[in-house]
Amino acid sequence: MTEFRQLETRDFNPVLAVAPTDFEALFAYKRGDYRRCLQLSTDNARLLTGVEGISGVSVAYPEFIQLMDDNIASLIGLTLIADPSLADQSWHFILLQLSLSLYLMAQCQIKLHHSVSALASTLNYVIVAREDLDEDLTLDQLLLKLTEHKIMRYVKTELGYR
């Protein structure tokens, strides 16, 4: 999958040919290599912010759902419960590389107990991404909102708020 993403990027969006793939970051996250995942996700987020034509990961397929963590799998399930008709429209279950990278970036920073200022920087990326995101990309909207909520909860905990 990583090789496919590299070929896809090279052939269809050469500007992003140097971007690490979302699959590499996912594999690192699944292995518990949070430092590597954070580096890859941060590099992706910096390169992809504000770029048009970013490809995504279709998470509707079982092969990809098993790579996702419980939060993403739950978002998919809740989306289907809320609107079962979406099951026939696979484009509703595509996560953009930027959204996935920002989520992984925040998750890794939280797991590695990074500083509040580091999470605040990530939160800025999330806010910009949400503002630029098409409203029809429901799963991306939900994932970015969840990422924002997780960051805010972590920051409040670190600052001693309940």
Q: What string of pLDDT tens digits covers the 162 residues of the chain? A: 555 545 555 555 554 444 556 778 888 999 999 999 999 999 888 888 776 655 555 555 556 677 788 898 888 888 888 888 877 776 667 788 889 999 999 999 999 999 999 999 999 999 999 998 888 788 899 999 999 999 999 999 988 876
**pTM for the predicted model, two decimal places:** 0.82
**110 in Cβ contact with 104 (< 8 Å):** no
- 3-state SS, residue 21: coil
- Tell me the C-alpha to C-alpha distance, in Å, between residue 113 and each of 57, 59, 61, 82, 153: 28, 28, 32, 34, 13
- Cα 44–chain centre separation: 10
**What are the tokens at 33?**
């290599």
For strands 56-58 and 94-96, give the pairing. antiparallel
